[in-house]
Structure 1
Amino acid sequence: MNSIKEKHSFFYRNGLTIVFMGLFVLTLFAQALTGWKQHNADLKDDHAREIGLGTYLRSGHFISATFENFESEFLQMSLYVLLTISLRQIGSAESKKLNEPEEVDREPVPGNDAPWPVRKGGWILKIYENSLSISFGLLFFISWALHLYGSWQNHNVEQLARNLPEDTVYAYLGQPEFWFETFQNWQSEFLSVASIVFLTIYLRQKGSPESKPVDAPHLETGK
């Protein structure tokens, strides 16, 4: 491990995470800025008082819009991690092979370089064996709850602006608005996963670990 660190720079070793997190921060800032301006335009149309950026970042409008997207991404990843354990797609770079044993299915073996939960064993190992799907599942439920909270709060702001009574969260759950926001994001995530699973059967991207080798047969499954 030390030799790897000495051979490559910090960015080279972590570039994928750094670039995507950088893009995340930039686009989240752009979302906040444009969402704030749009929300104030909506408030002005409803003859309500405009709010500052700091107030907007705590508003239901921003919380709902942000976690509505987080929720669908974490749902996508949690289902993807779980379903690829047992389901297959012949020819896809995203699928395990149809008949051959896979390295990811082997039983963990304790060793000096193994992670601590593997060396510990027992229930700690059992949790660690499923920690990726558990983490994505928790992130999904947290994001779903925050999306609900933000959407409900924003709904009540709109109700007050129209001189209508506020709704309880339970009453709001019975209305189509929140579920429309939810399902329009979920369906797009399911489509994107289905697309990469299917398109990697026939299409290639040289150098990408998400693609099969360029000269691989179409019906060769896995990378």
Structure 2
Amino acid sequence: MRRALRHHSLGLFFGALFLLSLAGQAFAGWHASNAEQAADGLGTLSFGRYLVSSDFAVDITENWQSEYLQFLLFITATVWLLQRGSPESKELDKAGLESDEDQKVGKYADERSPRWAAVGGIRTTVFSWSLALVMGTIFLVSWLAQSIAGQVAFNEARLGRRQDPLTWTEYVANADFWSRTLQNWQSEFLAVGSMAVLAIYLRQRGSPESKPVGEAHDATGVEG
């Protein structure tokens, strides 16, 4: 049991942080929402009602979609784009999809390779892009959920001001939707770009996201 926990400690650690953060967000958001309701002279929501409300849904999904967009772009951009000296970049002579031999695809697969890497055809092609496909799907689903939940929350506010509600297409073209979306995108792009560039010159001993402490600044694609 201890060995299994150690071997999966990274995933368990972030899984626990996710659940704790989600619970904290739900609790804090519930109190904030009820404070706004009280200020407007409206009734308060139970915790259960808040969890299924459009306000909670849009707050969750607008963050999820930006996170998965960040990873989707980083995964695919680093296939072709390079950053000299960064451990987040491939080596400077390896831009592109690389050869079947380098990727252990088809006849170059070994006994430990996943079966879909060896069979060839459409299954190997799908498996070769499976990480980006799944990340992209989660991004699109989260973004769609954000737009639907955001539309409901936005129309609830408009009805409170006795304004006509917007259709989904009208809301997606509205500044409120893009303000929510872009405020998350810009922070994700800043964080990823900062990581790629700062790791050229800064180190974290023992981390695979950093170069070894004594590695040269211009060493590229080297992990510690």
Q: Same fold (TM over 0.5)?
A: yes
Gaps of 5+ in 1: none
The yes-or-no answer on 1:217 pairing with 2:216 is yes
2:115 alignment partner AA: W
73, 90, 93: which one aligns with 2:87: 93
Aligned partner (choices 11, 15, 22) of residue 16 of structure 2: 22
1:1-223 correspondence to structure 2 within 5 Å:
9-99=3-93, 106-107=102-103, 108=105, 109-223=108-222
Shift in Å, 1:162: 2.5
Residue 161 of structure 1: CA displacement?
2.4
Q: 1:132 to 1:206 in 2, by over 3 A?
A: same
Q: Provide closer, same or farther for how the CA distance between residues 119 and 47 of structure 1 changes in structure 2, counting only shifts above 3 A.
A: same
Q: Could you tell me how far apart the structure 1 residues matched to 2:47 and 2:88 are? A: 42
Return the alpha-carbon distance in structure 1 between the equivalents of residues 188 and 69 of structure 2. Answer: 8
* Amino acid aligned to 1:150: A
Conservation of the 8 A alpha-carbon contact between 2:66 and 2:188: yes
Give 1:117's aligned amino acid. W
Q: Does structure 1 retain, via aligned residues, the 8 Å contact 2:79–2:96? A: no
- How far 1:137 sits from its partner (Å)? 0.5
- Give the AA of the match of 1:77: F
Q: Which has the higher mean CA deviation after the structures are superposed, 192-201 or 38-47?
A: 38-47
**Structure 1 residue 102: Cα displacement:** 9.8
In the superposition, relative to structure 1, how do residues 89 and 26 fare at CA in structure 2: closer, same or farther (>3 Å)? same
Give the gaps of 5 or more residues in structure 2: none
The Cα offsets for residues 176-201 of structure 1, whole Å up to 9 and x where unpaired, read as: 01100100100000000110100011
Classify 1:103/1:179 alpha carbon distance in 2 versus 1 (closer, same or farther; 3 Å): closer
Cα gap change, 1:144 to 1:116, in 2 (>3 Å): same
- What displacement does 1:164 show? 2.6
C-alpha displacement of 1:46:
2.2
Distance 1:101 1:163 in 2: 56
Question: What do you get for the CA RMSD once the two structures are aligned?
Answer: 1.9
Residue-by-residue CA offset, 1:58-97 (whole Å, 9 max, x unaligned): 1110110001000010000000000000110101111111
- Using structure 1 for the length normalisation, give the TM-score: 0.91
Amino acid at match of 2:53: S
Counterpart CA distance in 1 for 2:180 and 2:147 is: 10
Give the count of matched residue pairs. Answer: 217
Which of the pair has the greater relative contact order for Cα pairs under 8 Å at 6+ separation?
A: 1
Distance 1:100 1:187 in 2: 29
Structure 1 segments of 4+ aligned residues over 3 angstroms from their partners? 100-105
Q: Which moved more, 1:158-167 or 1:54-63?
A: 158-167
